[in-house]
């Protein structure tokens, strides 16, 4: 056994060295995870400094202290092995069973003992993942705003109270000056149309209206008894009032996708919107996905109809979207978004505008199924699973204790609404859905049994390793009797999959000679008929069926030539392997390694503009001549950064790496339960210049789009750099 390590108090060497400013203020506020984390912070600091004792180092190589999961510091989802001492994740490496990180990877038949001694490669962000889990700015209790949206004033409230208020509505913010008499519609009222038969009959008849086989008048006569469920009986195609609940998310993978859809499907809203191509440019989607970039602005315009409630999960559109400041304007509009609740692990750059923030689990504390990528020849299903305990408050839903999470939100609302498909006998007699593992363990069992052959049972020795490896997890997360009961006869196969961090085919089975065995089974079209058949909703013209260059245009198809005048540099974005996402700033390894980014231009441009390395400049464009984010709380965030001249960029181009320049997520002061929590200025270091990106001159409140790829426009804006006096 490892010797017991003594927890340290905040302010001792391990913490101050990583610059956790004002840690004592945070630890004093029970709404923040820091109040629970000083032990973990110290242990990581020792590992980071190479100060783990011999016994502890040996412990890191033991199978029982090695838990396999999947990273989420970017969307690649590499397999990870998390090395845990006394319940603390002290080091992360790659999972050698997972071909994402090792070529050739170890077969699943290789012993857990041997695999524990093989560390495969992952990037710096993956290795820093646990520092995000132990981020002192993580919240652990439900926060409800006590000031205006975005003002940074909060109180912690019981989860049950938050769920009751969101479900029932009422004068929820009577304590906020100006909102004394504002009545918020609750989810119970928004869930208007509940009868599935009526739902189906109305949907079928809306289709007939679209096909001009039924008139609106005939529809109204036929459905007279249920017209009160519609948003607008004159426009049955808008659907039921249920659609006035909008759910939007950023990064979401298999498992959570199905869990969420179970709720939104039973609730009957059509308004579930992912972030599509926001973080990755026009890689995947076309045409249809364009509409999803407009969620916030559409809400603010009440177009085509107004909404009543918005729920956001793991997304930061105010930060990540081009012209994200337009999203801030939308989110602070109480008339157009009367209720906004968010799932987040910190008070983030978008969730700071919410009415309620419900803490979510870090990716090392929860479940997901990462799937694969098209470039992966091996058949894989990496499984993300809880490997460390969460600092989040433990709450009770459907009679079951569980740490706060997005699943707890769905379950808590489902319980109050009486939504079908949740609670007792949700999956059939004796099969309940009261907690996340009810859902996800069944998915793991599906993985175990998928394909021609099921995986083998875990051996007695492997079962012992499995149980020893989870002894640090609280009963609210891992309870062997409960897990075994959920899995039934599949229990030992589930253990086998979880012991390896997923299911992975062998290298040998993935190739037939020099050909891949798992071929892309569909036709690859150079001419995309489906894309051509779709029509641009704004211009009525067909999209392009073949790849071609199209200059940036507004939604009406006009080039914004006036925007270019006087702006001599072409703005594009890029990534550095040490940062890349809005969430990666919460990883102290990364932020200490790369405290800020730069404004990168060619040396010839620097010379032409009279700029030197390190000189501060502001990024301005035709649609943002002030060069700043208006945070709509009396504050602004200027887009000022330091110049970095280089020969590695084309003349005429200016760029910055993503992940810096935050105005929340630990970067700003806030008040929680009357205590001022000081932000760390380092968390706001560097520049984020998305607000310079063009606003569509026709729509006027949203960014421009790349009509070929269906993404927002990241690579088209022209800007100029304005010197800032030191
Ligand atoms: S952050 Fe790095 S280790 Fe994690 S998924 Fe992405 S590439 Fe893999």
In ligand 1, the atom with minimum distance to the C-alpha of 123 is: 2
Mean pLDDT of 70-92: 95
Q: Up-side HSE of residue 47: CA atoms within 13 Å toward CB?
A: 26
**Per residue in 462-481, pLDDT tens?**
999 999 999 999 999 999 99
Q: Minimum mean pLDDT among 47-56, 327-336, 369-378: which range?
A: 47-56
In ligand 1, the atom with minimum distance to the C-alpha of 74 is: 6
Q: Quick one: pLDDT at residue 9?
A: 23
Give the residue, out of 75, 101, 122, with the most ligand 1 atoms within 8 A of its beta carbon, to mutate for a pocket test: 122
Q: Up-side HSE of residue 254: CA atoms within 13 Å toward CB?
A: 14
In ligand 1, the atom with minimum distance to the C-alpha of 80 is: 3
Give the distance (Å) from ligand 1 centre to CA of residue 75.
7
Which residue owns the Cα nearest ligand 1 atom 5?
77
Query: How far apart, in whole angstroms, are the C-alpha atoms of residue 632 and residue 152?
Result: 11
Query: How far apart, in whole angstroms, are the C-alpha atoms of residue 144 and residue 281?
Result: 34
| Diameter over CA atoms, the chain | 81
- Ligand 1 pocket (Cβ < 6 Å) reads 71, 73-74, 76-78, 122-123, 125-126
In ligand 1, the atom with minimum distance to the C-alpha of 76 is: 5
Give the distance (Å) from ligand 1 centre to CA of residue 717.
29
Which residue owns the Cα nearest ligand 1 atom 4?
126
**Per residue in 170-185, pLDDT tens?**
999 999 999 999 999 9
Nearest one of 692, 688, 687 to 715, comparing CA atoms: 692
Q: Are 662 and 579 in contact (CB under 8 A)?
A: no
* Fold of the domain built from segment(s) 142-192+228-383: Rossmann fold (3.40.50)
Q: Are 362 and 328 in contact (CB under 8 A)?
A: no
- Provide the pLDDT confidence category of residue 357 given band limits of 50, 70 and 90: very high
**Residue 348 structure tokens:** 């983030």
* Percentage with pLDDT > 70 across the chain: 93
Q: Are 345 and 312 in contact (CB under 8 A)?
A: no
Tell me if the bond preceding 498 is cis, omega within 30° of 0: no
**Per residue in 557-612, pLDDT tens?**
999 999 999 999 999 999 999 998 888 999 999 998 999 999 999 999 999 999 99
Which residue owns the Cα nearest ligand 1 atom 6?
74
In ligand 1, the atom with minimum distance to the C-alpha of 580 is: 1
Query: How far apart, in whole angstroms, are the C-alpha atoms of residue 282 and residue 286?
Result: 8
Query: How far apart, in whole angstroms, are the C-alpha atoms of residue 73 and residue 127?
Result: 9
Give the residue, out of 70, 75, 76, 119, with the most ligand 1 atoms within 8 A of its beta carbon, to mutate for a pocket test: 76
Nearest one of 658, 610, 663 to 634, comparing CA atoms: 663
DSSP string, 102-156: -SSPPPTTS-HHHHHT-PBP--HHHHTHHHHHT-TT-B-SEEEESSSTTS-EEEE
Domain with CATH 3.40.50.740 in the chain: 142-192+228-383
Give the residue, out of 75, 78, 371, with the most ligand 1 atoms within 8 A of its beta carbon, to mutate for a pocket test: 78
Domain with CATH 2.40.40.20 in the chain: 529-723
Average pLDDT, the chain: 91
In ligand 1, the atom with minimum distance to the C-alpha of 122 is: 3
* Fold of the domain built from segment(s) 529-723: Barwin-like endoglucanases (2.40.40)
DSSP string, 302-321: T-SS--SEEEEES--HHHHS
In the three-class reduction of DSSP (H, G, I as helix; E, B as strand; rest coil), residue 587 is classed as coil
**Residue 262 structure tokens:** 């179970």
Give the distance (Å) from ligand 1 centre to CA of residue 306.
39
DSSP string, 532-576: HHSB-TTT-PBPPSS--------TTS---HHHHTT--EEEEEE--
Strands 718-723, 616-621: parallel, antiparallel or unpaired by DSSP? antiparallel
Which residue owns the Cα nearest ligand 1 atom 8?
78
Nearest one of 461, 450, 449, 452 to 491, comparing CA atoms: 449
- Provide the pLDDT confidence category of residue 22 given band limits of 50, 70 and 90: very low
Q: Minimum mean pLDDT among 404-418, 514-528, 643-657: which range?
A: 514-528
Give the distance (Å) from ligand 1 centre to CA of residue 173.
41
């Amino acid at each position: 056994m490892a010797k017991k390590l003594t927890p340290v108090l905040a302010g001792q060497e391990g913490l101050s060295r990583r610059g956790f400013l004002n840690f004592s203020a945070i630890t004093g506020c029970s709404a923040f995870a820091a109040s629970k984390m000083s032990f973990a912070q110290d242990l990581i600091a020792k590992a980071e400094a190479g100060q783990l004792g011999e016994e502890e180092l040996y412990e890191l190589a033991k199978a029982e202290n090695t838990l396999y999961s999947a990273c989420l510091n970017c969307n690649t989802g590499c397999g990870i092995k998390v090395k845990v001492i006394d319940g603390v994740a002290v080091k992360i490496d790659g999972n050698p069973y997972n071909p994402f990180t090792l070529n050739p990877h170890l077969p699943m038949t290789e012993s857990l003992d041997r695999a524990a001694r093989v560390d495969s490669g992952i990037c710096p962000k993956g290795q820093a993942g646990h520092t995000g889990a132990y981020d002192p700015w993580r919240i652990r209790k439900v926060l409800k705003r006590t000031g205006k949206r975005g003002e940074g004033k909060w109180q912690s409230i019981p989860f049950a109270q938050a769920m009751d208020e969101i479900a029932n509505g009422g004068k929820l913010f009577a304590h906020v000056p100006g909102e004394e008499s504002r009545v918020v519609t609750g989810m119970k009222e928004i869930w208007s149309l509940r009868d599935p038969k009526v739902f189906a009959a109305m949907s079928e008849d809306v289709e007939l209206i679209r096909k001009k086989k039924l008139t609106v008048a005939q529809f109204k006569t036929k459905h007279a008894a249920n017209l009160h469920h519609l948003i607008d009986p004159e426009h049955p195609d808008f659907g039921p009032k249920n659609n006035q609940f909008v759910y939007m998310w950023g990064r979401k993978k298999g498992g959570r996708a199905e869990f969420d859809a179970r709720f939104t499907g039973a609730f009957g809203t059509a308004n579930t919107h992912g972030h599509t191509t926001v973080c990755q440019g026009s890689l995947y989607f076309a045409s249809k996905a364009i509409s999803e970039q407009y969620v916030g602005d559409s809400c603010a315009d009440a177009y085509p109809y107004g909404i009543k409630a918005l729920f956001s999960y793991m997304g930061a559109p105010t930060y990540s979207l081009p012209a994200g400041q337009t999203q801030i304007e939308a989110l602070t509009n109480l008339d157009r978004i009367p209720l906004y609740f968010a799932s987040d692990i910190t008070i983030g750059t978008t969730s700071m505008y919410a009415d309620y923030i419900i803490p979510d689990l870090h990716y090392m504390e929860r479940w997901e199924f990462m799937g694969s990528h098209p470039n992966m020849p091996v058949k894989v299903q990496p499984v993300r699973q809880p490997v460390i305990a969460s600092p989040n408050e433990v709450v009770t839903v459907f009679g079951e204790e569980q740490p706060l999470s997005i699943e707890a939100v769905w379950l808590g609302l489902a319980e109050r609404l009486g939504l079908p498909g949740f609670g007792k006998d949700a999956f059939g007699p004796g099969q309940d859905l009261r907690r996340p593992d009810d859902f996800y363990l069944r998915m793991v069992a599906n993985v175990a049994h998928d394909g021609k052959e099921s995986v083998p049972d875990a051996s007695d020795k492997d079962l012992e390793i499995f149980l020893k490896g989870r002894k640090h997890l609280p009963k609210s997360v891992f309870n062997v009797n409960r897990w075994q009961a959920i899995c039934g006869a599949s229990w030992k196969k589930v253990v086998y999959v979880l012991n390896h961090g997923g299911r992975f085919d062998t290298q040998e089975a993935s190739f037939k000679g020099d050909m891949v065995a798992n071929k892309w089974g569909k036709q690859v079209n150079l001419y995309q008929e489906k894309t051509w058949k779709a029509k641009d909703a704004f211009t009525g013209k067909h999209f392009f069926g073949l790849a071609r260059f199209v200059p940036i245009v507004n939604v009406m198809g006009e080039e914004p030539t006036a925007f270019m005048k006087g702006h001599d540099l072409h703005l594009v974005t890029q990534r550095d392997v040490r940062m890349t996402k809005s969430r990666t700033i919460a990883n102290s390894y990364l932020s200490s390694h790369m405290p800020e980014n730069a404004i990168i231009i060619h040396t010839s441009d620097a010379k032409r503009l009279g700029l030197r390395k390190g000189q501060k400049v502001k990024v301005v464009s035709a649609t943002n001549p002030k060069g700043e984010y208006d945070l709509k709380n009396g504050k602004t965030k200027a887009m000022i950064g330091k110049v970095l001249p280089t020969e590695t960029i084309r003349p005429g181009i200016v760029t910055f790496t993503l992940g810096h320049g935050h105005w929340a997520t630990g970067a700003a002061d806030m008040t929680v339960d009357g205590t001022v929590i000081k932000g760390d200025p380092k968390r706001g270091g560097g520049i984020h210049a998305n607000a310079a990106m063009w606003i569509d001159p026709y729509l006027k409140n949203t960014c421009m789009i790349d009509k070929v790829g269906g993404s927002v426009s990241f690579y088209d804006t022209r800007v100029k750099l304005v010197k800032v006096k030191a």
